[in-house]
Amino acid sequence: MIIPAIDLIDGKVVRLYQGDYNQTTEYKLDPIDVVKQYASAGAEVLHIVDLTGAKDTSKRQLTLIKSMVATGLMRFQSGGGIRSEQDVQDLLSAGIERVVIGSKAVSDRETVAQWFETYGAQHIVLALDINIDEQGNKFVATHGWQQDSGVSIEELIAFYGRVGLKHVLCTDISRDGTLRGANESLYAQLVVQFPQIQWQASGGIGSLQDIQNLIPTKVQGVILGRALLEGKFTLQEAIACWQDA
């Protein structure tokens, strides 16, 4: 499935380069219009990143997110600085189908595991952003990629497997926002290693060929952000490319 992404700061559609708030591109688009546009192009799920809420959870853009969900045009997953159970409840109450959890899943595993038990694994996506070292070790970065946790992606998946982990959005940090193509070998390896997970590939996709290159990996979802906003190809073309596989 092709999953378009929208990053929001103070109600505006933006894109960060490699997670850096100081390298922000703003697009003159209305978020509700983007929902309508992507839905009409055939998208079934939209990935929302609340960058304002990620910086300050008291400023989470819940009103805007509720308005996007209220269009009823597709399903939504959303994250950005999920730190408390209230954050999870607020997004689910807003109509978000899956809450995307990143750093908290690394720093406070027992708490997040309890959220799996309470709300169901079908309503949680782990967003695991990884750095790959020269030995091929895949360590998860946290706090907007500013900190290396020293925890491997394999270790986390094994831990959350005990509470029924279903969805993982995995980003190779070195590729994100670069349009240099996704890390196909990474996803192919992870899918084979953890076939029970619904994998979402994210980072670096800049052409229809990049999407085609992901098809043999058997990932279930492909997140598209900057490439769509900058018109590298249309969402219709991306979905057709994926469905032709």
pLDDT of residue 79: 96
Q: Any idea where the domains of the chain sit in the sequence? A: 2-243
pLDDT of residue 146: 55
CA distance 211 to 214: 5
Partners of 17 in beta bridges: 20
pLDDT of residue 21: 75
Active site residues: 7, 129
Coil/strand/helix, residue 124 = strand
Task: Give me the phi and psi of 113, to 5 degrees please.
Answer: -60, -35
pLDDT of residue 174: 80
**Helix 85-93 / helix 62-70 crossing angle, nearest 10 deg:** 30
pLDDT of residue 147: 58
pLDDT of residue 125: 98
Q: Answer yes or no: are the C-beta atoms of 199 and 191 closer than 8 Å.
A: yes
DSSP 196: T
Report strand pairing: 167-172 vs 147-152: unpaired
pLDDT of residue 106: 94
pLDDT in tens, the chain (245 residues): 999 999 999 999 998 766 677 778 899 999 999 999 999 999 999 999 999 999 998 999 999 999 999 999 999 999 999 999 999 999 999 999 999 999 999 999 999 999 999 999 999 999 999 988 889 889 998 765 455 778 999 999 999 999 999 999 999 888 776 778 899 999 999 999 999 999 999 988 999 999 999 999 999 999 999 899 999 999 999 999 999 76
pLDDT of residue 197: 98
Q: 109-146 burial, b if ≥16 CB within 10 A, otherwise e?
A: beebbebbeebebebbbbbbbbeeeeeeebbbbbebbe
Q: How many residues does the chain have?
A: 245
Name the fold adopted by 2-243: TIM Barrel (3.20.20)
